[in-house]
């Protein structure tokens, strides 16, 4: 899986937004398939026009590190899931909560090139990831 730094570098090499959209779709194709049993109402992200599912797993350390898996039924959105996972997966819960995703997405140019519905969906994904990170921190503190 690519890192957010890899994605940022690749975006800088692509001048045309059509090429960037193709790249985002390619990122989505690289996501490992999510098991059917993980695609359910509990893992579904509300607020997304397309269907998006996210799961998280905490390593139980202090602070906990989280690994995320995700999928969508739409090509572009699946690529956005891949970008969100590159940004957050494998990081500690405090790092996840401190990461300002809006700024990173804006610097990639996503903010001005996504429909309002896709931007809202991306915010919903980030909110879910941060909620899972907070829950993992609370569980570790208990």
Task: Return the active site residues.
Answer: 48
How far is 83 from 28, CA to CA, in rounded Å?
8
C-alpha to C-alpha distance for 134 and 97, rounded to whole angstroms: 7
CA atoms within 13 A on the CB side of 105: 26
- Neighbouring C-beta atoms of residue 10, cutoff 10 Å: 16
Sign of CA dihedral 66, 123, 75, 36: positive
């Amino acid at each position: 899986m690519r890192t957010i730094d890899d994605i940022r570098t690749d975006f800088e090499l692509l001048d045309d937004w059509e090429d960037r959209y193709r790249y985002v779709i390619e990122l989505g194709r690289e996501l490992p398939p999510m098991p059917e049993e993980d695609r359910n109402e509990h893992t579904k992200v509300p607020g997304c026009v397309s269907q998006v599912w996210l799961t998280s797993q905490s390593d139980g350390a202090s602070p906990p590190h989280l690994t995320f898996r995700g999928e969508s039924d739409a090509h572009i959105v699946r690529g956005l899931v891949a970008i969100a996972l590159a940004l957050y997966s494998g990081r500690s819960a405090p790092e996840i909560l401190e990461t300002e995703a809006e700024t990173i997405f804006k610097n990639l140019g996503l903010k001005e090139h996504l429909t309002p519905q896709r931007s809202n969906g991306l915010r919903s994904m980030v909110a879910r990831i941060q909620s899972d990170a907070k829950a993992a921190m609370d569980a570790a503190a208990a």
